Amino acid sequence: MKLHHGNKKGLFKHALAVTATIGMAAALVGCSSNGGDSGKAASGSDYPNKPITLTVQAAPGGGSDLASRTIAKVLEKELGTSIVVENRPGASGSLAVKYVAGLKPDGYHIGFTPVELAMFDHLGYDVSPDDVQLLGEIMNQPGTIAVPADSPYKDLKSLVEAAKTKKITVSNSGAGSSWEAATKLLGKAGGVEFTPVPFDGGAPAVTAASGGKVDAVVAGAGETHAAVENGQLRVLAIFSPDPHPVFTDIPTAKSQGYDIDFGAWGGLYAPKGLPDDVAKTLEDAIAKAVKSPDFVDPISKTGTVVVYKDAADFTKFVNEEHERFGEVLEK
């Protein structure tokens, strides 16, 4: 079939118009991908697009593990990806922190850190708060001091006064642990020295006190309260500025004249050097997750208090804790 000359001319013009339109579209696509958002794309604008690993510094079953697995489930909803929780216990928790600190800072590997992060280098471990990028605090389990149910010490003052004239043994969850440090802080506040008796974990430390093998035990509120309900222990004080929101019958150490605020706090961190947009995505997700009933309810039932600090405030707090422990542990 022959085309009229005029039709050929019309088709040629139409082809030029289509070509120009396609060219403009391609140019616009190029601008959108290489223009103002180029930095974001380069640093991971589609983050996260694969599973994230969360490393816990303790063995399964403990408070750190419970907090990590609970927050991980909520973060999965906030971030839209799966989170794999792995346990790397060892060297008082420093092994896991050092491992995560050495990984690529791309947001696909984060960790849970306990209060010991502020203690590690004071105890001779080669890791400090400066080695990681803190993302936010998520919990705090206030410390308590408890005595056997038949103990002659009815309040904190009588226990402290006894330590001025005799050896008072106090069990804790291990040499170099947060609860050993809390025992030293209490002694400092009272002007005495307690004799720490380390055990391999909070549970055996509580058991030792319940059986009268030591004069007292320093452990988390949730760890000691169960033995109180069983009639085995009496809690003399809780190491927080305010009464516990669940265990309201426990008097604070401060109300008895001993200004000690100590808890087994914990939060999330990442390798140092996260891209800004990745850090913001993680920080925003953590802020929402901590307020979720799916995190608050199960955590609160264990005696742990949900406490949130954003990245900046958590970093400031950890640095202050690091300085405080330096004064206590290096003496």
Q: CA 61 to CA 85: how far, in whole Å? A: 13
Whether residue 58 is contained in a domain is answered as yes
Domain boundary among 256, 279, 296: 256
How confident is the model at residue 12, as a pLDDT?
Answer: 39
**Which structural domain range is residue 86 located in?**
52-140+263-329
Residues 239 and 317 in one domain: no
How confident is the model at residue 245, as a pLDDT?
Answer: 81
pTM comes to 0.74
Low-confidence spans in the chain with pLDDT less than 70: 1-45, 330-331
How confident is the model at residue 13, as a pLDDT?
Answer: 45
Q: How far are the Cα atoms of 73, 105, 242, 310, 325 from residue 120, in angstroms, in the given order?
A: 29, 22, 28, 22, 10
Residues 233 and 279 in one domain: no
Separation of CA 128 from chain center: 15
How confident is the model at residue 109, as a pLDDT?
Answer: 98
For 27-54, how does the pLDDT look when each residue is reduced to its tens digit (9 = 90+)?
434 443 333 333 333 344 699 999 999 9
Residues 68 and 216 in one domain: no
Number of domains in the chain: 2
Whether residue 93 is contained in a domain is answered as yes
Q: Are 197 and 242 in contact (CB under 8 A)?
A: no
How confident is the model at residue 290, as a pLDDT?
Answer: 98
63-79 and 276-291 helices, crossing angle to 10°: 110
Q: Are 253 and 259 in contact (CB under 8 A)?
A: yes
72: CATH: 3.40.190.150
Whether residue 4 is contained in a domain is answered as no
How confident is the model at residue 59, as a pLDDT?
Answer: 80
For 47, left (φ over 0), alpha (ψ -120 to 50), or beta? beta
Q: How far are the Cα atoms of 25, 39, 235 from residue 33, in angstroms, in the given order?
A: 12, 10, 62
Residues 212 and 313 in one domain: no
190: CATH: 3.40.190.10
